[in-house]
Chain A
Amino acid sequence: MGALANYIERAGVATASISLIREQSEAVNPPRALWVPFALGRPLGSAADPEFQKQVMRAALGMLATATQPTIEDYPIEAPDEADAGQWLCPVNFAVAEDESVTARLLAEVTRLAPWSAETRAKRGRTLFGVTGAAPHQIDAVARALGTLAEHGNLSEAPVEGIDWQFDMPILVRHLADDLRTFYHEAIAAQPGSDAPNHDALNDWIFDGTALGDALQQIAKHLTEEGSPMSLLVRGLLIPEGRYEGGSAFG
Chain B
Amino acid sequence: MRRFSWFNATSLTLGFAFLYLPMIILVIYSFNESRLVTVWAGFSTKWYGELAQNDAFLDAAWVTIQVAFWSSTIATVLGTMAAYVLVRGGRFFGRTLFSGMVYAPLVMPEVITGLSLLLFFIAVNLDRGIVTIVLAHTTFSMCYVSVVVSSRLVSFDKSLEEAALDLGCSPFDAFRSVTLPIIAPSVIAGWLLAFTLSLDDLVIASFASGPSSTTLPIKIFSAVRLGVTPEINALSTIMIGLVTVGVVTASLVIKRNVARAEAEARAAAG
Are these two chains actual partners, yes or no?
no
Binding site for A on B (CB under 8 A): none
Binding site for B on A (CB under 8 A): none
